[in-house]
Structure 1
Amino acid sequence: MTQKTRRLARLDWLETGLQALAETGPSALKAEALARRLKTTKGSFYWHFDDIPAYHAALLDLWETRATAALDIALARGATATSKLRATAQMVAECAEDMTAEPAIRAWARDHAGARATLGRVDAQRLDLIKGLLSDIGIANPEMARIIYATGIGIADLTEDHPGRNAAAIGSLVDLVLALR
């Protein structure tokens, strides 16, 4: 008796691409390399995507959708502007440090116009949210939003291996900024 294999869905290819991007970088986003990861043929890839640029666009759309949804989740964690600010800053740090594709998307954006545009929209949305929350708290200096956001992104590059420490550190930064009001 032979084992029937499951037909791959478009999302299977996209999930595999995000994982490959996070692990290997944009060079892994080729039909043949992805087919090998999924133990299938390139024909399956081309069943779901017209070509590699269409695949890249779909991959970036999925990542952007998830990045936007993460903002909604962060906002739902807090009841006040202060707790929402803390949760949003911690979400940024968590996205940058876990094995999501965000660090790889940032690296890819240096050389790929589509990734750069997608990242630009996500960054603008997150910065606008942080600026708005700071404004609600009474902090009008827009540079504070950039400082909090940039710290959240960059903190993942610290080589310490202490899960949760980055979220705690960014929370301390938010507390420090709030103490300046």
Structure 2
Amino acid sequence: MTKKPRLSQTDWLLAGFAALAQDGPDALKAEPLARRLGTTKGSFYWHFADVPAFHSAMLDLWAEQATSHIPAALETEPTPVAKLRRLSQIVAAHRSETLGGVRLDTAIRAWARANAMVADRLAHVDGQRLTQLETLLNETGITNPEWARIIYAADIGMEELSSRDSADNTNAMGSLVDLVLALR
């Protein structure tokens, strides 16, 4: 008889992301996740004190994945315009990237509509992203903060469209940034 390998905290988190994307936030409880993974709730509670701690760990991992790579990716760009274009590509590509095979931003936004903790975390990540965008726009000479909101809102809308048609928005985001830069 072969013994199943122990599940790691990451295994649980990735299962949580898959459950969130497929079944919504009601699936983010110990019992349904244990069934999904073919194990007991005891394994869940070995890694997490309770369901809210699990939710918090999920959001920590998502927020880290959503923002941490951007500053290093922009360092190599020689000008503010090049950095802004690169940021638009990163953001568009990030929307199509997955964590554990799951596209998360749409699912996180849906979850945030009914959960204050998730809404707060989403607002923090959105704030970081908007600040990065505003900073780069300012460096190119575009000082109206509404442009950052417009670009970011377009990105969120494109994500929603892509969740339905799987289209790549990299070129569309690039075109939007080029249009904004032409208005300088």
Q: TM-score, normalised by structure 2?
A: 0.89
Q: 1:94 to 1:47 in 2, by over 3 A?
A: same
Q: Which residue of 1 aligns with 2:132?
A: 129
2:32 counterpart of 1:33: yes
2:117 counterpart of 1:111: no
Q: How does 1:80-99 map to 2 (within 5 A)?
A: 80-98=79-97, 99=102
Q: TM-score, normalised by structure 1?
A: 0.90
Name structure 2 gaps, 5 residues minimum.
Answer: none
Backbone CA RMSD of aligned residues: 1.7
Q: 1:73 to 1:107 in 2, by over 3 A?
A: farther
Q: How does 1:133-172 map to 2 (within 5 A)?
A: 133-158=136-161, 159-162=164-167, 164=168, 166-172=169-175
Distance 2:96 2:124 in 1: 20
Distance 1:154 1:130 in 2: 17
Task: Say if 2:108 and 2:122, in contact at 8 Å, map to a contact too.
Answer: yes
Q: 1:23 to 1:79 in 2, by over 3 A?
A: farther
Name structure 1 gaps, 5 residues minimum.
Answer: none
Q: Can you list the C-alpha shifts for 1:89-109, whole angstroms capped at 9, x where unaligned?
A: 233333334542111111111
The structural deviation recorded for 1:143 is 0.4
Task: Say if 1:93 and 1:153, in contact at 8 Å, map to a contact too.
Answer: no
Letter in 2 for 1:46: Y
